Amino acid sequence: MDRRDFIRGLAATTAIFALPGRGGAVAPVSDPALAAFIRGMPKSEYHVHLEGTLEAEMKFALAKRNGMNLPFADVAAMKASYIYHDLPSFLAIYYDGMKVLQKEPDFYDLAYAYLAKAASQNVIYAEMFFDPQEHLKRGVAMADMIGGITRARGDAEAKLGIRSQLILCFVRDHSAQSAMAALDAALPFKADLVGVGLDSDEAGNPPEKFREHFAKARANGLKVTAHCDVDQTDTLRNIRTVLTDLKVDRIDHGGNIVQSPELVAIAKARGIYFTVCPTFSGTLRRTEKVPVDVVRAMMDAGLKVTISSDDPAYMGSEYVDDVLIRAVERSQLTRAELIAIARNGFEAAWLPETDQSAMLARLDAYVKAA
């Protein structure tokens, strides 16, 4: 999860949250034809936290259903509270909001709402994160979390044509024991999972803390990915660890890799895909004299970039179309680069090659007809 980048970016982006009626708004775009091309394009998404898609309206609906009182007069007041000034204030609101997720139908509604939104933007395939440790500690059963999400995945595929899979994320700032307990509780449902990931606060929680978890997940047939958030302490060390030691299948964010030609070469040799979320982690700052555009730099380095929305409910309700449009404009992506990113999005899928090929064929047909 992008919490640190998110907070770091707030100074520059508070206006997003301050604008009235911003939720669901269309990103500013100077080329309407290109925006229309993006909106119509068959797409994928690999870096979206289901709890980060919990919109204020749904929080109120679930709170009502579960007999909870929320400390906000209405949706507008809740959205107005999405202005954070430091990590504790962000986490307090983020985790507090998550508490409305209590029962199987809550997880169903959350996942179905995201999938419906994604399908409306021509996302045809998504791999979604969830953070079970946050729910287990409130007494929610793993069966209710995975059961509700899986049921929503089935309905969304049948009714809306969007295919999806689920990735269990370890919350890295909780204990290693807590993460292992979550994995053990999830393994009876491993047929409904495609992989495990690693998110939340990286400081003091390096990836090797989860070496045993990743090994156990792999032994159970699951894929492995890990967040390497932008501009974290020891970020290049941690990127090296996930690439060469833990040997992840994918990296979430990972933009600082452009500062190390050696690591770039390793990632390219291993064919690693990066799930980049430029909404709030769009620039590198810490070790560069001038800000570096992450997407531009990664594309120029020849890395395999995909683009996702991360925690859209907390990021101005910008889902993948708006994020892509913003990325094209800010990073000055050419049409060919945009299409390459879309192709990466299907080649990165944790699906059989025949399924990848079928989705790529849909993209190629769209591009040819456009």
The residues of the shown chain that bind Zn ion, judged by CB under 5 A, are: 1-2, 310
CA-based end-to-end distance of the chain: 35
φ/ψ of 127, rounded to 5, equals: -115, 120
Angle at 296 between CA 247 and CA 311, to 5 degrees: 65
Residue 253 CB, shortest distance to Zn ion, in Å, is 7
Task: Name the strand (E) or helix (H) holding 261.
Answer: helix 261-270
The pair of three-digit structure tokens given for residue 51, joined into one six-digit string: 């709890």
Residue 157 CB, shortest distance to Zn ion, in Å, is 24
Kindly tell me the sign of the dihedral angle through the C-alpha atoms of 136, 279, 319, 77.
Answer: positive
Q: Given the complex with Zn ion, which of 144 and 318 has the nearer CB atom?
A: 318
Q: Given the complex with Zn ion, which of 153 and 253 has the nearer CB atom?
A: 253
Please state, in angstroms and as integers, the Cα–Cα distance from residue 128 to each residue in 111, 149, 256, following that order: 9, 10, 23
Residue 307 CB, shortest distance to Zn ion, in Å, is 13
Q: Given the complex with Zn ion, which of 5 and 144 has the nearer CB atom?
A: 5
> What is the residue type of 184?
D
With beta carbons less than 8 A apart as the criterion, state whether 59 and 100 touch: yes
Q: Given the complex with Zn ion, which of 106 and 311 has the nearer CB atom?
A: 311
Angle at 251 between CA 249 and CA 257, to 5 degrees: 125
Residue nearest to Zn ion (CB): 1
Q: Given the complex with Zn ion, which of 202 and 321 has the nearer CB atom?
A: 202
Q: Which residues pair with 293 in a beta bridge?
A: 283
Residue 119 CB, shortest distance to Zn ion, in Å, is 21
Please state, in angstroms and as integers, the Cα–Cα distance from residue 235 to each residue in 231, 242, 256, 259, following that order: 7, 11, 7, 10
Residue 52 CB, shortest distance to Zn ion, in Å, is 7
Residue 167 CB, shortest distance to Zn ion, in Å, is 11
Q: Given the complex with Zn ion, which of 70 and 226 has the nearer CB atom?
A: 226
